[in-house]
Amino acid sequence: MLLDVRDLKVSFDTPDGVVEAVRGLDLRLAAGESVGIVGESGSGKSQSVLALMGLLADNARVSGSATLQTDTGALELIGAKRRVLERIRGARIAMIFQDPMTTLNPHLRIATQIKEVITRHRGLRGRAATKAAIEMLEAVKIPDPARRIRYYPHQFSGGMRQRVMIAMALACEPDILIADEPTTALDVTVQADILDLMAELRQRTNVALLLITHDLGVVAGQCERLLVMRHGEVVERGAIDPIFEAPAHAYTRDLLAAVPKLETPHFARASS
């Protein structure tokens, strides 16, 4: 198993007491697999994946286990040294967020930021790095990449920025891509383009995907399996089709009722 998470718990110490954000998450992700995590706001989706990456806030307490399979054996992520986690992040596990501006440096041209990743990961510099960076923008279908690579982040639209983030995330050829509401901030047509792009790149690179969203329609199009979280716990899990056909939990039924009919998996199957 590529990633094996067992009984992951995250709590936060606050002046008003302890907030239990994640109350025992079990999750397994095989190489190349795509798993969706859905649930309402505050259900613990983001804190679960931030815990895996060692990116929780200072007032967090975490317990449980998350082992990542590497070339040199299983590596425990929970409680791992910062140096170890920094090496894992980007190289083995890449992450994209709802708002690319939180990750991109607003003061540096896109070229500089992409080339930094390319240099670190592939050891390319100068013209070779620039050429590789332009190819990366091409791969995520940014038009006129040779010119746009000189842009600053604010010169891109939200959708284009998310494409840049996807390019940078996949540049390191990670085993796992964690996407936390990657299209939530985008309007619907742009959202569909980005999701198509992610699906296409996933097929090409065989990267495993952990996709967080509050939108079951998005999960239906992207994932093979689904976890439904509520109040820090998984209330339902399994393959997409059986859950869509007969959700066991009332909360899942409520979520499903909110999905527009056109986005059910039956439609996706019929049209693909």
Ligand X SMILES: Nc1ncnc2c1ncn2[C@@H]1O[C@H](COP(=O)(O)OP(=O)(O)OP(=O)(O)O)[C@@H](O)[C@H]1O
Per CB under 6 A, residues contacting ligand X are 12, 14, 19, 21, 39, 41-47, 57, 59, 214
CB 181 within 8 A of CB 192: no
Instruction: Provide the token pair at 149.
Output: 């690579």
Least separation in angstroms between CB 201 and ligand X: 24
207: number of Cβ within 10 Å: 21
CB of 216 vs ligand X, minimal distance in Å: 13
Kindly tell me which of 117 and 229 has the beta carbon lying closer to ligand X: 229
Closest by CA to 197, choosing from 249, 243, 160, is 160
Q: Report, in Å, the least distance between residue 270 CB and ligand X.
A: 30
Q: Is 162 in the site for Mg ion (CB under 5 A)?
A: no
Residues 213-242 that bind Mg ion (CB under 5 A): none
Number of H helices and E strands in the chain, helices first, is 11, 10
**Residue 12 or 151 with smaller CB distance to ligand X:** 12
State the residue number with the nearest CB to Mg ion: 46
Note the helical H segments in the chain: 45-53, 82-91, 110-122, 126-139, 145-148, 158-171, 188-205, 216-222, 240-245, 250-257, 265-271
Instruction: For ligand X, give the closer residue by CB, 62 or 177.
Output: 62
Q: Which does 189 bind (CB under 5 to 8 A by kind): ligand X, Mg ion, none?
A: none
Name the 3-class secondary structure at 253. helix
58 or 144, CB closer to ligand X?
58
We find the least distance from the C-beta atom of residue 51 to ligand X, in angstroms, to be 9
Nearer of residues 42 and 64 to ligand X, judged by Cβ:
42
Could you say which of ligand X, Mg ion, none residue 41 binds, taking C-beta under 5 to 8 angstroms by partner kind? ligand X
Closest-CA residue to 222 (of 248, 197, 247): 197
Whether residue 160 contacts residue 145, with contact meaning beta carbons closer than 8 Å, is answered with: no
Count residues binding Mg ion (CB under 5 A). Answer: 1
- Tell me the closest approach of the beta carbon of residue 29 to ligand X, in angstroms: 18
In residues, how long is the chain? 272
Our finding on whether 183 is near Mg ion (CB under 5 A) is: no
| CA pair distance 37, 216, nearest whole angstrom | 9
**Number of C-beta neighbours around residue 17 at 10 A:** 9
Query: Which residue lies nearer to Mg ion by CB, 46 or 191?
Result: 46
Q: Is 46 in the site for Mg ion (CB under 5 A)?
A: yes
